[in-house]
Structure 1
Amino acid sequence: MCFSVLIVDDEKMPREILHHYIPWEEYGVRSVYEAQDGESALELASEKKPDIIISDIKMPRRNGLSLAEEVRRILPDCQFIFLSGYSNKEYLKGAIRLKAASYVEKPIDLDEIRGVLTEVCEQLRSTRRPDPEILFFRGGPDNTEPLNDRIFTPDDVLFTRLGEAVRHKNRHETEHLLEPLYRELLRCEGTPPDTVRSLYCRIVFLFINAAESRNLALVAAAGNDSLLKIAGEETLSGLHAILKSLCVMYFNALESEEPDPLTRVNQYLESHWSEPELTVLDMAQALGFTNTYLCAAYKKSCGRTINQQITLLRLEHAKDLLAHSSLRLYEVGKRVGYADGKYFTRVFTRETGMTPKQYRERHSHDN
């Protein structure tokens, strides 16, 4: 489910901070709009119909409370998060009366905003569940046209060919069969989703059996994990992604002697640790593992989580930059993968017991 957000503040800096330093895609936010006062925000809200409005309270032309009252008339389910640099009880009472999702005092604390957004988006999802069959075939509630009544008929010949391709290590043939199957299923919207899930489980078993016969224990374990994921997956595209990931992992394991997961993760991190957008999920997909399996295997191997290892690498490089360069603290943070300077300082202090500034003062004489 995708959301849209409208940020309203008569000051440019808070708008830019919220727009550019919140990882909106993690919350399912597709569109972020801005307005510099309450009046223009009301016009934009009427046009764009945002799901969430983050608004300053004290603004020219129309304040945040007045904006909320007007918006609620046209968008009763819109969630408001109020910002204020003033500890004013009347503002707080007004926010409570309007059933605002939260009242956050300035200066903006990004961690606090993120926490509020998590709660708000969960609330929106719980109250706006799409039709499960529309969600399954189309990935969301945006297209409300009736589903067609075509039903997919399984072809035993297809499964025979797939089984042979998997057993005979024919990657091209396997992929050539899976992609048309997926496209055909997308066109057959009258097929019960549970029937499609059973079909995908049947294909996963082909990979599990082949992996076990070749003593590919990691692939077989990932296959079992895939079966659990398929049972709970709500979309056809998600089912296909699970199967593709397993397919990639299986053929990668066949085509080369792969290092163990610990070595592969560490090799990957050597090249990607400084990327702010780095996620464990993206890494797992790039390496051909399921996210659940890779996290468990890595921690079992070295006693640390992958995220802990990322933090360790970043802070080691940060220490070097602090001791041997004149970069400003926020520049050091950006160099080591933290787009938010305050967050970098918080993580550094938590992990080392001193602030970046204190660390620099203590170690810069070593130059």
Structure 2
Amino acid sequence: MRVLAAMSGGVDSAVAAARAVDAGHDVTGVHLALSANPQAYRTGARGCCTLEDSRDARRAADVLDIPFYVWDMAEEFREDVVDDFVAEYAAGRTPNPCLRCNEKIKFAAVLDRARALGFDAVVTGHHARLSDGVLRRSVDLAKDQSYVLAVLRPDQLAGAMFPLGDTTKSEVRAEAARRGLAVADKPDSHDICFIADGDTRGFLARELGEAPGDIVDAESGEVLGRHDGAYAYTVGQRKGLGLGRPAPDGRPRYVLSITPVQNTVTVGPVEALEVDEVRADRPVWTNGSPDAAFDCRVQLRAHGAVFDATVQPTADGLVARLAEPARGVAPGQAIVVYRPDPAGDVVLGSATITEAVRTATV
């Protein structure tokens, strides 16, 4: 097959491309330039999408002796990932930009362009397993990325290859060293690539401007403090609340909800974070839409805990009833639905969380 290898400049994508070559595919490497000003994105070990990463990807392609190109995707990335990120925070939600990048950039814009150019598939270094259209967790659960891939439609999965799903991260690094790839010891990227200094609050303030409002106690309705922008907070947050006085019982307070219309942040005790029902819209099902309730497992944020649940499909989404309460479930995040399987949990689909509530009495 003619395969396009998306090469980020990291060790995972380099080894994935190498395995595609070993499998006998006709491989071309491509690095995605996601910023009109790459110096504005992170450097070194702090992120991805930098000039350094582009050079590392090119060197890896040279070692593999495959053609290599750089595709300018800055405009698409700004519109579909960065602008979406800002808009979601402005609406009081907490988005996952890596999930959106996979959905809109790597497996929409890139896959569409690759197919138009005659490629059969796009190969990436994601840690997940894919076989006959079935997406499963990676064998390396600590590095599993099936959560951020669960937004992919069946037709997109049909054009994807994830060669590293059966390999641990330490094994990937050892293989890269054996192959003579200079990125073998390159640190993993962290946080959000388009926030150069890692200051999400500062980035949002620059994008949205200051919007002062009240921080309110959930139980008494009392105003406990002020904020410069509700977008700087997320459900479940404990630190950085800037409250003028402690709770009467001395226990810490947590962000319970964000109301953009009133521009208020509501806080309360940790127990008030507990929810047992999650509602979501914009569903994506990997193998056909279910038409009845079913038992499953759900994950409510990247690298978060997994909960047994019963999922009920709805006209525009789903409702998940959790067997045990979860805390800190934020609107805007994805709920990913898995079918338990001894060979590795299978991704059934995903949706975007709109609301999480407590229905059971304590």
Q: Which structure has the highest strand share of the two? A: 2
Structure with larger Rg: 1
Q: Which structure has the highest helix share of the two? A: 1
Higher relative CO (Cα under 8 Å, sequence separation at least 6) belongs to 2
TM-score, normalised relative to structure 1: 0.26
TM-score, normalised relative to structure 2: 0.26
